[in-house]
Chains A and B, each alone.
Chain A
Amino acid sequence: MLNRAFTKHFWLMLIPGLVWLFFINVLPMYGILMAFKDFNPGAGILKSPWVGLEHFEYMFELDDSSQVFKNTVTIAFAKMVGNLVVPLVFALMLNEVKNRLFGRTVQTIVYLPHFLSWVIVAGILLDMFSLHGPVNRVLEALGAEPVHFFARADLFPALVVGSDIWKEFGFAAIIFFAALTSINPELYEAAAIDGASQFKRLLNITLPSVLPVAALVGTLSLGNILNAGFDQIFNLYNPAVYSTGDIIDTWVYRAGLINMQYGLATAVGLLKSVAGLILISVSYGLAYRFANYRVF
């Protein structure tokens, strides 16, 4: 009864958000038509002539499309593994230190890089890894030849993955800290009385308690296998490393907004969006089935 009277007010509350959603999230979906048209800015989307699947066919003929796809998946997969394993190991290491003040201080410090933008991190990294930068100074002191790090296509993926882990591992560990603090301390006490060593306790109590969370995090990250990190690569890459560092998102940016190939860029972006939607749905479905995880 009362709720019926509330319905009108509920709609009023939804309106500001729905307007925002309509203009910025929904309206661009109409622009997807450009993927099937020869877009002419003068004529607008509706009046531009249809070309069917021409853009998609052209995309598969391009030499770099398979390379760009391969780069994307390689970098994204390496990040996925690294951003699961490193935070987990780090959380386990920190969990073994019983001094709370030390633990909290280290946590606060390792969260820091997460709060820096990729512009800033890239600015610092490009400087530190430049030919005359401190990293090369250290190499020099060790008697090695200086390395032009960010101009080397063979090193670029490793630098991207490494710097991403550096930036995010602390923040990604939060979820593991939460799982670790929820372990019942009586388990440890009982194990200690039974004479289990610190290592045995880690192996038989701590690890089994966080593995389900790790499995969940890993499953959810599967949906991101086409997201290699635009903000990061856009700020770090240059033409010399396109062969290993160019990813779908950076390619779409250059094709669409620099070279004005609207139709082609929209087609590639659409393909990525659809694949991403399927991947995320599958990973969420898996997480729901096996871990009873629900987003809403």
Chain B
Amino acid sequence: MVAEQSIVSRLLNGLNVLLLIAIAVLCILPVWYTLAISLSEKSYVAAGQVFLWPKGFTLSSYEAIVSDHQFFRSFWISVQRVLYASALSFLVILLMAYPLSKSAKEFRPRNYVMWLLIFCMLFNGGLVPWYITMRDLGMINSIWGLVLGGGLPIFNIILVMNYFRNLPKEMEESALIDGAGPWRILFSVLLPLSMPVMATILVFTIVYHWNEFFQALVLMTKNDHYPLQSYIRQVAVAFDPTEVDEETAKRLTMLSDQTLNAAKIFISMLPLLVIYPFLQKYFVKGITLGSVKG
């Protein structure tokens, strides 16, 4: 009886593990497929013969990218955007989170500012007023439009603010007694204690700005101002399979350089693929910080 039960439960556990492996495979399959395409001979890809393993192995797609100036220009714009946005967001979030972590008793306007932020987080003017405003501010074709255009990162401010509030009060008090001012307390006492949450918001900021594609489509009038994702969209996605019949679609797909696009897609996701496993513990912490509260 006992042995029988354990056979059933072993079987179920084995099945469970197999299913989990299948799910994990399903998650990397599209990435793997893209890599296989990018390393294959064009003719095999066009004939639909490549799936899990490159056929007619070649690096020619990657060689072709080397001479693609727009790809590098866009890559560089994305790098700049991520750098500027990370530095700026880091500083602004840190500076705002500290006063807001005070109670209304300690900093009287605290709750009014807080409600203003919450309102702006939940309500916005919509796409068209945003575009008109950005245009009037001279953000067309400017990288600052991409850096600032998403608006104040309010959610991240709240994350850091909550973190500050949960730090032991004694740290700040003893610094006060030693005669430290607010700036000193923030940068020499609180900041070193807040590295986990600051790393979390840094991850969120980097991922958001690397992946964001839409603002550039709206704000940039010339393609050479596109960041990488907007450029990829232009070459690999913005193709309409339905305007044309099947035969033409097939011909168009053969013309549109599938292997080259796959190589571009692969390179554009590579930076995040490489870094996210190392940052895992930070974003996991950030998610739980922001979501479960007693």
* B189 at interface by CB-CB < 8 Å: no
Q: Is the CB of B92 within 8 A of A115?
A: no
> B34: which A residues are within 8 A, CB to CB?
124, 127
B30 adjacent to A124 (CB under 8 Å): yes
Residues of B contacting A27 in the complex (Cβ-Cβ under 8 angstroms)? 133, 137
CB interface residues, B 237-263, toward A, < 8 Å: 237, 239-243, 246, 249-250, 253, 258, 261-262
Tell me the minimal C-beta distance from B178 to chain A in angstroms: 13
Q: Is the CB of A14 within 8 A of B113?
A: yes
Whether B243 contacts A239 by the Cβ 8 Å rule is: yes
- Are A25 and B124 CB-contacts (below 8 A) given A124-B265, A137-B48? yes
Distance in angstroms between the alpha carbons of A276 and B150 in the assembled complex: 18
B280 interface contact, C-beta 8 A: yes
Our pick among B26, B37, B96, B242 for the contact of A240 (Cβ within 8 Å) is B242
Complex Cα gap A27–B124 (Å): 10
Tell me whether B30 and A97 are in contact (CB under 8 A): no
Judge whether A28 and B129 touch: CB under 8 Å: yes
Does A9 contact B151, Cβ atoms closer than 8 Å?
Answer: no
Proximity bits, B98-118, A CB within 8 Å = 1, else 0: 111010001111000110111
Do B237 and A123 touch across chains, with their CB atoms under 8 A apart? yes
Q: How many residues of A contact B (CB 8 A)?
A: 109
Interface hit among B54-62, B63-71, B191-199, B210-218: B210-218
Are A148 and B246 also in contact (CB < 8 A) when A14-B96, A124-B265, A133-B48 are?
yes
- The answer to whether A93 and B20 touch across the interface, beta carbons within 8 angstroms, is yes
Chain B residues lying within 8 Å of A6, measured Cβ to Cβ, are 106-107, 182
One of A60-68, A71-79, A186-194, A230-238 at the interface? A230-238
Cα(A28)–Cα(B258), bound, Å: 40
Total A-B residue pairs with C-beta atoms closer than 8 Å? 300
State A295–B128 Cα separation when bound (angstroms).
Answer: 29
Contact partner, B124, options A28, A241, A262, Cβ 8 Å: A28
CB B194 to nearest CB in A, in angstroms, measures 15
Interface size on B, residues (CB 8 A): 109
CB distance from B86 to the nearest CB of A (A): 15
- A interface majority secondary structure: helix
Contacts of A151 in B (CB 8 A): 241-242
Query: Which residues of the partner chain B approach A132 to less than 8 Å between Cβ atoms?
Result: 46-48, 250, 253
- Select A13's contact among B13, B46, B99, B123, beta carbons within 8 Å: B99
Would you call B242 and A29 a contact (CB within 8 A)?
Answer: no
Q: How far is the CA of A122 from the CA of B269 in the complex (A)?
A: 13
Q: Which partner residue on chain A sits nearest B48 by CB separation?
A: A132
Contacting residues, chain A, for B265 (C-beta < 8 A): 120, 123-124
Q: Known interface pairs A120-B268, A273-B123. Does A266 touch B95 (Cβ–Cβ under 8 Å)?
A: no
A126 touches B213 (CB 8 A): no
B residues near A13, Cβ cutoff 8 Å = 95-96, 98-99, 182, 186
13 more A-B residue pairs beyond the given contacts A24-B133, A24-B134, A119-B230, with a C-beta to C-beta distance below 8 A: A10-B107, A13-B186, A20-B151, A23-B137, A24-B149, A34-B132, A96-B16, A106-B20, A124-B33, A127-B262, A137-B51, A273-B126, A296-B161
The interface of chain B, by Cβ under 8 A from chain A, is 5, 9, 13, 16-17, 19-21, 23-24, 26-28, 30-31, 33-34, 37, 46-48, 51, 91-93, 95-96, 98-100, 102, 106-109, 113-114, 116-118, 120, 122-134, 137, 148-152, 157-158, 161-162, 176, 181-183, 186, 207, 210-214, 218, 229-230, 232-233, 236-237, 239-243, 246, 249-250, 253, 258, 261-262, 265, 268-269, 272-273, 276-277, 280, 284, 287-288, 291-294
